[in-house]
Structures are given as C-alpha cells and as structure tokens.
Amino acid sequence: MNTNIEKRTTEELLTFVFDSINKIAGLRSRDRLLPELAKMGRDIVYADRCTIWILNRRTNRLWTKVAQDVEPFEMSADMGLVGCGIEENESLIINDVQSDSRFNSHIDKETGYTTKSMIVIPMENKGGKVIGALQVINKQNGTLFTETDLTHLKLASSYASETLSTILLMEEIEETQRELINIMGVTGENRSKETGLHVKRVAEYSWLLGKLYGLSEEECDVLKDVSPMHDIGKIGIPDAILNKPGRLTEDEMTIMKTHASLGYDILRYSELKLLKAASVVAYEHHEKYDGSGYPNGTKAEDIHIYGRITALADVFDALGSERVYKKAWEDEKIFKLFEEERGKHFDPKLIDLFMKNKNKFLAIRDEFKDAF
Amino acid sequence: MNTNIEKRTTEELLTFVFDSINKIAGLRSRDRLLPELAKMGRDIVYADRCTIWILNRRTNRLWTKVAQDVEPFEMSADMGLVGCGIEENESLIINDVQSDSRFNSHIDKETGYTTKSMIVIPMENKGGKVIGALQVINKQNGTLFTETDLTHLKLASSYASETLSTILLMEEIEETQRELINIMGVTGENRSKETGLHVKRVAEYSWLLGKLYGLSEEECDVLKDVSPMHDIGKIGIPDAILNKPGRLTEDEMTIMKTHASLGYDILRYSELKLLKAASVVAYEHHEKYDGSGYPNGTKAEDIHIYGRITALADVFDALGSERVYKKAWEDEKIFKLFEEERGKHFDPKLIDLFMKNKNKFLAIRDEFKDAF
C-alpha cells in the first residue's frame, strides 16, 4: 500500500476501483455509503484518513459518518479548512497545515492526532450547488500530496457527489412512501376515531411477530410498511355505522364486515410488491385460524402469514387500548383470551411466540402510548 | 482506441473509468442506464458492440435498450449464446462464433452484421439469481478476446448488475408512490362518488398548465404527482353532506368547505417535498384570484401557482363531466365562463394559456374519458 498510485499495475488499479464501486453501487443508505466513499478516497491517494462531509444548509452544519456503527459526527460549516473550501467553493491542497492560519487545531488537540497535510474538495450537485466536501488527511509514508493526487481525488469526489445525490433522493422517496401509507392508515382510522398511534403500534407488533416467526428481514419490513393499511376499506363504510356508539345490528355488522373486501378491491389491481402485500393484509386480517372469520372463512395456513400476524397484532392493540366507549383490558385478561383462542381465532404458533416474548410487545405498547 | 487496455496509462484508465461511472451514477431510469453501461462494457475491452440484457422471468424474454431514443428490443431467453450463458449461469468467451452450433445466426442475417467473436457474462443479483447478461461482440481491429478481457468485463458486469438492481428498486418505489397517491385520491373521490378518472385528468391538465406557464419539468412532475390528493380532506366530511343529492344548506356548505383545511392538516406536518406540495394543493385549490375563495380568501399571486393551476384544472374537469345529478356542460359554455371568470375566479395568465391551447386540454379529456 505504501507506493504511489502511479506505481499500481493496470490490473491492480482496475481491481481496486471496481471493488470500491461495486460495493458502493449496492448500498441503499447514506449511513453505509459515507464510510465506503471515504475508504475509496483514502486509498486512491494513499492518505491516512478521508472524510465525506454533508452540508446541511438550514443549520449551516457539516455532518458525517465515519463508520457504519459509529455515531454521526457534526461540526459548524464555518470552521477550519473544510469550511473554507465549502465557503469559497474551491479545492485546497495544503502540505503544511499547522502553519495555515485557517486551520482549526481544536480537533487535533482533542484527539491527539496531528494533521500535517490535507486536501479538501467541495462536492457539487448537478445544479452546481455545494452539497458537502471530501477531505483527506496526511499522505501515508510522510510524503506530500501532489497535483496528481488532487486530480485523482476530484474524480472520486464527482463520483461521491453523484452517488450521494442518488441515495439522498432514494431515501426521500422511501420516506415519502412510508408517510403516505401512514397518512392513508391514519385518515382511515380518523374516520373511525382510532388514534394515529394505533396503526404505528400494529406495524411494530407485526414486524416483531414476523421476526419471531422466522420471516426474512425484507418480509418483516414489507409487513411493517403495509400493515397500517389494514383498515383502508373502512373509507367505504358509512359514518352512521362506522362511528355508531352502541352495538351494531346484524345488518349493520354485515355492512361493517365488507371493509375487508373493500380494502382488497382498492389495492388488488396493483402488480407492485408492496401494494400486493397490502391487499393481502386488508383482505385477511379478520380471518380466523379455525375458519370462522370473514370475508372468506379461510383456515389455518391457507390464511397468508401476513393476515395471521396482523389479526393478532390488531386485536392485541384494540384490547389493550382505552377507547371512548370502553376501558383498556388488563394484560392478564388479554393473555387469558389469547390462550383460549389459541388455534381458534389465532395461529397457535404465533400465540406461543407472543406469550414467550410478552415483554417485548408490552415495551412497544409503552413506547407508542396514546397521550390522553 | 485501437490499443489494448493494458496499454492505457494509469491516467487514461482512471479518467475512462471515472468518466463512465460518474455518468452512470447520476442516472435515474433503466432506459438511460442500459446504453451507458453498454458503452462502458464496450470500451473496457475495445469491442465493437455491447448489449446489456435484462431477463424477464415471467415471460422468459430478454429486454434491452441500445440507445435512449431507440425502441427497446426483445428476444426469447432460450435463444443463442446469450440464452446459453443465462441458462447455464456461465460466462462464455467464443472467438469463432460462426462455427458454434449454439449461435443463433438469425439476427446477423437480418441486420447484415457479421458476428465473429463474443463474450457473454450472466449478471447476478445479491441473492445469486441471474437477472440478465452482458454481451460484447467483435473485438476491434480483428484480434481475439482474451481471458484478461473476460476478467475486466466481469468487473464491469458486477457493477452493471449492482447499478441495475438499485435502479429497478428505485423505479419500483417511485411507481408504488404514484399508485399510493392515486389510491388515496380515488378513495377520497369514491366517497364522493366521483370517478377515478377525474383525478387522473386533473393531474394531466395540471401538468400541461404548469408546462405552459413556464414551470420547470421537475415542478410540473411534482404537481402532477400530488394533484390527485387535492380533495383528500373530503375523507373527513360526513357522508350525509358529501353525498347529499340536492343543494347543500348554508350550514352544510360551511362544513363541506372545511375539506380544504382538513386536507392541509393531514399533510402539512411533513418536511418531505412531495407532501409539502400536496398540502399546498389541498389547502389552496378553492382560493380564487380575486380573493373571494376559501379557506383564507388569499388573492392573486399570493395563492401558490400550484393552487391556481389545480383550481382551474379541477373546475374544467367538473364542468365538462357528466354526473348522476347533472349533464356535462357544452364546451362553448365552459369557455364563456372562463372568459367571464378571468381575473375573478381564475388567474388571467392561466386562462389565456388555456384558451390558446384549448385543443390540447380537450385531447386529454378524450384520452381519459369516463366509460358509462
């Protein structure tokens, strides 16, 4: 490693670059991306350290993550050489940092690390707006950074900036999706006077049940994402029935029960994975393990695992929550009911997993408690 | 270009690779991605042609796009050397293609192009499942493909596969988002017995008005994406008012009008660009240019351009559509109203743009006509 990049053979160089970009191209979050980009920047010029800084214009602060399992680090965007490079939108190559008046020696003093040489390259988005900076510190084996190093790092920095923009956009889209689903769930619930936290808790219980059941991480995430839509069909139920204070008549109950099929009808026409999963949850969350549920009286494992899980999560939350028309049940009373309904209303395997991990479910309930 | 990759200087190689990946990292759709990946594959081994094939397992067909403005090309996944490579999940390097019995000479005969040498590399996703193949044809200057070429192409192929997976995922998420918004719009409309096509038409009119008004492509797309949510607040209006057959009383109208603020309240808490835009549309689509609208009586350019546009698009569609309780207005009657309401209900600039481009709006209405 202690040679110049110019000494690498073509093979070594190609392998190094592609190893880096193949790893990077598969990443889906900025937390994972930043350390990998930094590693690439560091190795491309044989530096000791490399940091990719993201600029938050609102707070005028710089943000980074040096390793995936390390807390993010923040500092003011006005400080030091990185701040200078960003402010002036200019690359800096400084081989005697300590005698540079713009250098902020504060961090060195705190960490005991001595900064000798440094390159700072501002990163721009397509619109030419600075979105952050790439910084390398201390050339390995004590030599100086060269103009060639700067040229190479600029290539890496453009790449970092493109990749970062894509990931930030992707994170925004995913977050939008999640919020849209929550809004759909909450608007459905609002009509039936449930609280927004109900859908959140059901989502968390569902994720945990999926995990305990042995579903893959990806399946658990999908289930968590879509479970807030389980009652979306209530949008089609008349207010007079949906919000009736007393007991429903048999006719009213028949109409109320159509919400499962209504939800299914709203979602079923999509070919998209997430919406397909949502349609299953909307359709089957009132089926019962012994076949006595609705709308189809489907039995046991013929009910999709997503349906079996949401059924349990939904009932657990409804029983344990206080409503205008009822008090919350005592936990012991809920557990007793679950034991009785094991293999009747609920999948026996799920009940066993729930009972064995009760405390985890109660902890979720505490975390997302309704505020009255 | 007619030298071997081994002969490139380190600088040339680095510049070549980074030029390619910088372009690729900024792409957001597979239509743009495939030609760029192919160009990279071609140049890395100095081949004459390169194609990136995507496998559709459902139809068992291979799909590609050789240039952004060229129609996609499809073929059976069972055919020829590419089919072989995918079937066996094995890389092939063949320097005498014409005498290989697996070669499908059909395309050569059709195009008049003579395939001499070929490399095929199956592309795998993270799960090890084949998702397509990279194919290069005919080494430039008539030499043969070497094992080194294969090694280099494998690097490019892993990169292509990672990048492709990310883009496909991103496309799926964006599509899911669009469908979720449509579902939200349609469920809102369902409660008020509007048709699903109403929100679609309003979205198309809004996009066109934005374009004519001079908004950027991106702003137009955002407006189109969010306009289906303009009536989302109707979810909070009681059925008895929302679906009342006759005229609303003054009190009922007061309640009905709250749907604008209700929609705003549902969406306003988000920091996300798309939902912020949606909240504006929900809030302001009943404001009028002269300040006589609701909920705030905002005037002229103080009404966000998204609000002014959706107001016009929504009214144009409502008037021109047949409903259970009313016939569709004649076009001339609508245009007359628009002229009268120029500067009163509607932004005069938007009315002028609309009148000058009437036919485009009528064409959209025809394309998304309600079927009775």
| Out of B17, B126, B272, closest to residue A176 by CB | B272
Say if the Cβ atoms of A272 and B179 lie within 8 Å: yes
- What is the distance in angstroms between the Cα of B332 and the nearest Cα belonging to chain A? 37
Nearest CA in chain B to A272: B176
Whether B170 and A172 lie within 8 Å, measured CB to CB: no
Chain A residues within 8 A of B8 when measuring between CB atoms: 10
Contacts of A15 in chain B (CB under 8 A): 155
Has residue A372 got a pLDDT over 90? Answer: no
From the CA of A76, how many Å to the nearest CA of chain B?
23
Select the residue of B22, B155, B266 nearest A18 (Cβ to Cβ): B155
Helical H segments across chain B, by residue range: 10-25, 30-44, 80-88, 106-111, 147-191, 196-213, 217-226, 239-242, 250-257, 259-267, 273-284, 305-320, 331-340, 348-356, 358-367
Measure CB to CB from residue B176 to each of A166, A177, A186 and give the nearest one.
A177
- Calculate the alpha carbon distances from B206 to B211, B230, B313 in Å: 9, 12, 6
Side-chain half-sphere CA neighbours of B350 within 13 A: 32
Do B22 and A159 lie within an 8 Å CB cutoff? yes
More confident residue, B322 or B133: B133
Q: What percent of chain B has pLDDT over 90?
A: 52
Which residue is closest to A191 within chain B, CA to CA? B236
Q: What is the pLDDT of residues B183-224, one digit of tens each?
A: 777 666 666 556 668 888 999 999 999 999 999 999 999 999
d(CA B156, CA B162): 10
Return the active site residues of A: 234
- Record the tokens describing residue A233, joined without a space: 């069909």
Inter-chain residue contact A162 with B25, CB threshold 8 Å: yes
Spatial strand order of the sheet with B73-76 comes to B73-76, B61-64, B47-56, B130-139, B118-124, B92-94
- A215, A305 Cβ separation under 8 angstroms: yes
User: Which of A159, A181, A274 is facing B25, going by the closest CB pair?
Assistant: A159
**Long-range residue pairs from B209-212, CB within 8 A, at least 24 positions apart, any chain:** B209/B309, B209/B312, B209/B313, B209/B350, B209/B353, B209/B354, B210/B305, B210/B309, B212/B353, B212/B357
CA-nearest of B58, B17, B34, B368 to B171 is: B34
How far is the alpha carbon of A30 from chain B, nearest alpha carbon, in Å?
14
Q: Which residues, listed in sequence order, are joined to residue A61 by a DSSP beta bridge?
A: A56, A76
Inspect the interface and report whether the beta carbons of A274 and B187 lie closer than 8 Å.
no
The band of A212, judged by pLDDT with boundaries at 50, 70 and 90, is very high
φ, ψ of residue A54 to 5 degrees: the values are -105, 130
B18–A190 CB contact, under 8 Å: no
Checking if the pLDDT of B178 tops 90, the result is no
Q: Are A368 and A204 in contact (CB under 8 A)?
A: yes
Distance between CA B327 and CA B308 in Å, rounded? 26
Interchain proximity B272–A174, CB inside 8 Å: no
Of the pLDDT bands very low, low, confident and very high (cuts 50, 70, 90), residue A166 is confident
* Residue A351: Cβ-neighbour burial (10 angstroms; 0-12, 13-18, 19+): buried
Q: Provide, as residue numbers in chain A, all residues whose Cβ is less than 8 Å from the Cβ of B170.
A: 166, 170, 173
Determine the distance in angstroms separating the CA of A367 from the nearest CA of chain B, rounded to an integer.
Answer: 21
pLDDT at A15: 85
CB nearest to B180's CB, from A13, A174, A177: A177
* Res A42: pLDDT: 93
Structure tokens at B243: 């679906």
For residue B275, list chain A residues with Cβ-Cβ distance below 8 A. Answer: 176, 179-180, 183
Nearest to B181 among A159, A180, A232 (CB): A180
3-class SS letters over A240-298? HHHCCCCCCCHHHHHHHHCHHHHHHHHHCCCCCHHHHHHHHHHHHCCCCCCCCCCCCCC
Pseudo-torsion of CA A191, A192, A193, A197, nearest 10°? -100
Cβ-Cβ pairs closer than 8 A, A with B, add up to: 140
Judged by average pLDDT, the poorest of A93-97, A209-213, B76-80 is: B76-80
Q: What's the pTM value of the predicted model, to 2 decimals?
A: 0.74
Question: Are the C-beta atoms of B36 and A177 separated by less than 8 Å?
Answer: no
Inter-chain contact B10–A5, Cβ cutoff 8 Å?
A: yes
DSSP code per residue over B245-285? SSPPPHHHHHHHHTHHHHHHHHHTT--SHHHHHHHHHHHHT
The residues of B that are catalytic are 234
pLDDT of residue B189: 63
Lowest mean pLDDT among A26-30, A36-40, A204-208, B97-101: A26-30
pLDDT for the residue numbered A355: 97
Kindly tell me the sign of the dihedral angle through the C-alpha atoms of A272, A276, A282, A285.
negative
Upper half-sphere CA count for residue B19 (Cβ side, 13 Å): 10
pLDDT digits (tens, 9 = 90+) for A278-288: 999 999 999 99
Chain B: nearest CA to A273, how far in angstroms? 9
Q: Is B92 helix (H, G, I), strand (E, B) or coil?
A: strand
CB burial of B142-174 (b: ≥16 within 10 Å; e: otherwise) equals eeebbeebbebbebbbbbbbbbbbbbeebeebb
Query: A63-69: which pairs have CB atoms within 8 A and are 24 or more residues apart?
Result: A64/A34, A65/A30, A65/A31, A65/A34, A65/A35, A66/A34, A66/A35, A66/A38, A67/A35, A68/A31, A68/A32, A68/A35
Which residues face A122 on adjacent strands?
A: A133
Query: Using one digit for the tens of pLDDT, what is the confidence trace for A300-341?
Result: 999 999 999 999 999 999 898 877 667 889 999 999 999 999
Q: Percentage of chain A surpassing pLDDT 70? A: 94
Nearest-by-CA chain B residue for A163: B25
Nearest residue, CB atoms, A14 vs list B13, B172, B173: B13
pLDDT tens string A334-368:
999 999 999 999 999 999 999 999 999 999 999 98
Could you tell me which residues are beta bridge partners of residue B53?
A: B133
pLDDT of residue B372: 57
Cα B6 from chain centroid (whole Å): 41
Average pLDDT, chain A: 88
The C-alpha atoms of residue B284 and residue B255 are separated, in whole angstroms, by 17
* Contact criterion met (CB < 8 Å) for B165 and A26: yes
Contact A166 B240 (CB under 8 A): no
Tell whether omega for the bond before A72 is within 30 degrees of 0, i.e. cis.
Answer: no
Closest chain A residue to the Cα of B170, Cα to Cα:
A170
Cβ–Cβ gap A239/B239 under 8 Å = yes
Query: Which three-class secondary structure state does DSSP give residue B323?
Result: strand
Q: Mutual orientation of helices A273-284 and B147-191 as an angle, nearest 10°?
A: 40
Tell which of B20, B180, B237 to mutate to test the A interface (max A CBs under 10 Å): B180
* The pLDDT of residue A6: 55
Asked whether residue B302 carries a pLDDT value surpassing 80, the answer given is yes
Bigger pLDDT: A118 or A12? A118
Note every long-range contact of A125-129, with CB atoms under 8 Å and residues 24 or more positions apart, other chains counting.
Answer: A125/A161, A125/A165, A126/A165, A126/B26
Residue of B nearest to A175 (CA): B272
**Structure tokens given for A63:** 């943000």
Indicate the SS3 state at residue B35: helix
- Rounded CA-CA distance B116/A368 in Å is 66
pLDDT of B364 higher than 90: yes
Beta-carbon separation of B179 and A235 below 8 A: no
Which stretch of DSSP H or E encloses residue A354? helix A348-356
Nearest-Cα distance to chain A for B59, in Å, is 15
What pLDDT is stored for residue B152 in this prediction?
A: 87
Gap from B78 CA to chain A (nearest CA, Å): 25
Confidence of residue A1 (pLDDT cuts 50, 70, 90): very low
Set of chain B residues whose Cβ sits within 8 Å of the Cβ of A267: 183
**How does pLDDT run across B1-50, given as a tens digit for each residue?**
444 555 677 778 888 888 888 888 888 788 888 999 999 999 989 999 99
Residues B162, A266: C-beta atoms closer than 8 Å:
no
